[in-house]
Structure 1
């Protein structure tokens, strides 16, 4: 079998060009995400908390009055 020099050059070129992809640097890191917005609003559930605390206080006062009678 006769070895053709052009075929060897093509085989070597393909081999060496495919190896260069292995040594390539990775791309730059993705940009960082923006920071989250600062906390939740403070007045989100305050009305519900005030209503529950007043009703619990009235319940306890009623319970104390009934126990003393």
Structure 2
């Protein structure tokens, strides 16, 4: 029991040192792992055709209206 109390006092006193040593040991373990196996070569997939211009105009209008709203708020706040 006395050993655990003494160990707890030591850990409180040397908390930063203990954390630094622990991080260094963890980095050694991480760097000593073997590298992953190389991926098998596959032919590239054809590009996916995604319609992005359907919602762009709606997004631009929403951004424009939000900008007007924020300008109105700033002007109202400064008056």
* TM-score band, normalised by shorter chain: 0.3 to 0.5
Structure (1 or 2) with the greater helix fraction: 2
Q: TM-score, normalised by structure 2?
A: 0.39
Q: Which has the higher contact order (CA 8 A, sep 6+)?
A: 2
Q: TM-score, normalised by structure 1?
A: 0.44
Q: Which entry has the higher C-alpha Rg, 1 or 2?
A: 1
